[in-house]
Amino acid sequence: MLIVGLTGGLACGKSFIAAELGRLGCYVVEADELGHDVLKPGGEAYEATLREFGTVDRALLAQKVFGDPGELAKLNSIVHPAVHSRAQRIFAEIRAREPGAIAIYVAAILVETGAWRNFDKLIVADCSRSTQLERAIGRDASVEADVLARLERQLPSEKKLEHADFVIETNGTKENTLRQIKMVYEELRKLAL
């Protein structure tokens, strides 16, 4: 089985790429979804997060931690291991069912955390900063200043690209992006056999 990380900056097209890889036959595991799941009642990070922060409400947690690197590190030390553990169980289940499968793990901060090293290959979704800004503002009516602030907090694209086995550039047309995804999928398919 081939386990592939998929990462990229804000509004670079990770979800679009993941959906198309899923349509082509890959198993797609979303870190964000697992993060939501582990914070639900009964989830692996629920009790510890509630004890530490007094809430598991994501909006309230964000308010508490995103301005404070120490608090963010504390939250990450609870949530990330739970997400990792759950992902490993999912990969084991996929491997048991289909040893030649391709699993795509989608996460925004694979390079920042060093987790990219845990994958057989790494795909980086990339586009220009102006495209990121336009997409981010368009998809949820964000204010330009807020989007720019989020982009400034992210690792520069060049740093992510240093670790990429495959780059899917998403500035162009949808058809061009789909063509690139298909080419990457065909390469992954060869590696998974």
56-87 tens-digit pLDDT: 998 899 888 877 889 988 999 999 999 999 99
User: For 7-25, how does the pLDDT look when each residue is reduced to its tens digit (9 = 90+)?
Assistant: 998 889 999 999 999 999 9
| Rounded-to-integer distance, Cα 74 and Cα 32, Å | 18
CATH code of the domain containing 131: 3.40.50.300
| Residue 136 shares a structural domain with residue 190 | yes
Report the chain's mean pLDDT, rounded to a whole number.
91
Structural domain span for residue 111 = 1-26+101-193
Residues 91 and 149 in one domain: no
Q: pTM, whole model, 2 decimals?
A: 0.91
Collect all residues with Cβ–Cβ distance below 8 Å to 87 and sequence separation of at least 6: 29, 31, 34, 105
Query: Quick one: which H or E segment has residue 4?
Result: strand 2-8
Q: Which of 104-132 are b and which e, b meaning 16 or more Cβ less than 10 Å from the residue's Cβ?
A: bbbbbbbbeeebbeebebbbbbbbeeebb
pLDDT tens profile 91-102:
999 999 999 999
Give the model's confidence band at 134: pLDDT under 50 very low, under 70 low, under 90 confident, else very high. Answer: confident
Residue that is last in its domain, among 98, 125, 153: 98
Are 156 and 136 contained in the same domain? yes
> Residue 144 burial (CB < 10 Å; 0-12/13-18/19+)?
exposed
What is the residue whose two structure tokens read 């009790």?
47
Distances (CA, A) of 139 to 17, 32, 72, 136, 174: 17, 18, 26, 5, 16
pLDDT of residue 66: 77
Residues 81 and 8 in one domain: no
Q: Are residues 66 and 147 in the same domain?
A: no
- Mean pLDDT over 103-125 rounds to 94
Q: Which of 193, 185, 186 is nearest to 28 (CA)?
A: 185
Instruction: Give the mean pLDDT of 20-43.
Output: 97
